Chains A and B, each alone.
Chain A
Amino acid sequence: MTWVNAIVQGIFLGGLYALFACGLSLIFGVMRIINLAHGDLAVLGAFLVWSLTERLGISPLLAVLPALPVMLAVGYLLHRTVLARSLRGGPLTPLLTTFGLAVVIQNGLLQVYSPDVRSLGGPAGGVATGSWRITSQLSASYLGVLILAVAVLVLGGLQLVLRRTAFGREMRATAQDPDTAALVGVPAQSVYARATAIAVATATLAGVFLAIRSTFDASSGPTQLIFAFEAVVIGGLGSLWGTLWGGIVLGVAQTLGAMIDPQYSILAGHLVFLAVLAGPRGRSFLARPLRARRQRLT
């Protein structure tokens, strides 16, 4: 495997991480909380699609279509029942609540689906295995291209919604100043719930692609959360396109690390993340959330 090929594969991997990260980034951008259950919700979605695939005998790429509305509803209800309350409790409570939620989801899945490792690669058929041969050393898998394309579409779509639609304006207004947003008629809780729904749906997409690309099990959630978080931070908090860039940097770091030694791949990602944090850019990540917080305080 040449370096160039490693980079290309890293970019494709980055597409997957970006897809995981955009939901996390959205919830953080709108509600200023990190949903520690994000990875587990993605795995939940993957298991849902897995069950549908098993039950109906269809490709997971088709099964994801009915799964998305279900997960949209799950996200919406999740906010209405649990997250809305925890937002009122101060900055610590949502972290505690989402962490508890993550524990519940993970162990619930463990109980229902057993610790067996599964994959949706088989049922996905040719898409999962085929690739374009570009040169003798370089290939682009159908799946990699598909995932990257979906990531770009989703991120682009979200940007469009945020910039051009009334709902997007409401999300931005609520993110910048929920108090004043209420004073101009925007129902904050409804906005948050819909944002959560969208985030969970994108997480489901990411989870399904993960399942097709490799394996997954009930405890895959936390790892994906960490990667998603790293992608968000590397790319810059509060920037949707930043998460694409951050995901790609993370993916490339991991594949380059794997070239040195397969055991180093994840470690390489962590080290890049810590380096970004320690570096001068690390400071600028704080500026935005703090500024937003100060707006909330007045």
Chain B
Amino acid sequence: MTLLTVDRLGARHGLLQAVREVSFELAEGETVALIGANGAGKTTLLRTVAGAHPPSGGALRYDGADLAGTAAHQRVRRGIALVPEGRRLFPEMTVEENLRVAGHRGRPGRWTLETVLAAFPALRPLRGRLAATLSGGEQQATAIARALMTNPRLLLIDEVSLGLSPRAVDQVYASVTALREHGACLLLVEQDLARALSVADRVICMLEGRVVLDAPAAGLTRDEVVTAYFGGLARRP
């Protein structure tokens, strides 16, 4: 069942048209990797879907309904959660407070403080630590856990492995895999192509604001992905 329909969406970033006529669909339970070079428009796209960024054209339909006019905090209530680029934890609040503040306004569901801490056992001893004192991997885990507290049906994660050590990335992807098994729909921005291809059902590649590749991960070769990434491949239907 289609959860999100992106229909010729456009978005500006300052003076630049960062997202141009982007269209794709996300189905429930799908895991889609969004890849592309820096500046391709991935972050802007995610932020526009989450409501943190105003669209300049096109439409977003979530669960059949148009998202226009719905503010970011209202979209959270409806089940869209974004883990922003750079984690963006609340630095002067503890891990537990970060989680609690997200849980207060989210949807009811299986993710509560206890179940989230059970899913991310590494965070349990860190409960009382200020978010600013955590390592990169711990912050990323906290950021994902925080987004989970809102019980999202659509989880957007911007730059999953950016700035993390390989071991931390492993840990993060272990939890991402666990999320898949719980039926969430995931849209991940990932710079590491190998990871992206291994965990995703589908791959969307963006270049200069447009979608240049939208295909199931299974049939894709690395060459095809790389060609799309750097330009040179027409959009696959």
Contact = CB atoms under 8 A, between A and B. Distances in A.
Interface of A: 166, 169-170, 172-173, 176-177, 179-188, 295, 298
B101 A177 contact: no
Nearest to B106: A185
Contacts of B106: 184-185
Nearest to A238: B92
Given A169-B104, A170-B104, A177-B88, A183 B93 contact: no
Say whether chain A's binding surface is mostly helix, strand, loop, or mixed.
helix
B88 A186 contact: no
Interface stretch (B1-9, B68-76, B133-141, B208-216): B68-76
Contact of A180 (B84, B97, B104): B84
Contacts of B102: 184-185
B86 interface: yes
A173 B131 CA distance: 12
B90 interface: yes
Interface residues of B, number: 30
B147 A169 contact: no
Interface string B102-117: 1011100000000000
B91 A183 contact: no
B91 A176 contact: yes
A192 to B, nearest CB: 13
Contact of B147 (A173, A181, A184, A186): A184
Nearest to B53: A179
A173 B71 contact: no
A181 B88 CA distance: 9
B104 A166 contact: yes
Given A177-B88, A298-B86, A185 B97 contact: no
B50 interface: yes
Contacts, number: 77
B100 A169 contact: yes
B146 interface: yes
Contacts of A170: 101, 104
Contact of B73 (A169, A172, A182, A298): A182
Contacts of A184: 76, 81, 101-102, 105-106, 146-147, 149-150
Contacts of A187: 71, 73-74, 105
Contacts of A176: 90-93
Nearest to A188: B73
B218 to A, nearest CB: 32
A194 to B, nearest CB: 14
A179 B71 CA distance: 12
B77 interface: yes
Given A184-B147, A185-B106, A169 B88 contact: no
A183 B90 contact: no
Contacts of A166: 100-101, 104
B71 to A, nearest CB: 7
Contact of A185 (B52, B76, B88, B93): B76
B73 A186 contact: yes
Given A173-B90, A176-B90, A176-B93, A182 B105 contact: no
Given A170-B104, A172-B97, A180-B89, 19 more contacts: A169-B93, A170-B101, A173-B90, A176-B92, A177-B90, A179-B88, A181-B101, A182-B51, A182-B52, A182-B71, A184-B81, A184-B105, A184-B147, A184-B150, A185-B73, A185-B102, A186-B73, A187-B71, A188-B73
B93 A186 contact: no
B82 interface: yes
8 contacts: A166-B101, A169-B101, A182-B71, A182-B73, A183-B52, A184-B102, A185-B73, A186-B104
B97 A169 contact: yes
B150 A172 contact: no
A183 B50 contact: yes
Most buried by B among A173, A179, A181, A188: A173
B101 A186 contact: yes
A273 B71 CA distance: 43
A148 to B, nearest CB: 29
Most buried by B among A169, A177, A180, A182: A180
A151 B84 CA distance: 40
B100 A172 contact: no
Most buried by B among A176, A177, A181, A183: A183
A33 B81 CA distance: 29
The 3 closest A-B pairs by CB, nearest first: A185-B105, A185-B76, A184-B102
A175 B66 CA distance: 30
Contact of B72 (A173, A177, A182, A298): A182
A30 to B, nearest CB: 13
A183 B101 contact: no
Interface in B114-136: none
B90 A185 contact: no
Given A183-B72, A184-B146, A184-B150, A172 B77 contact: no
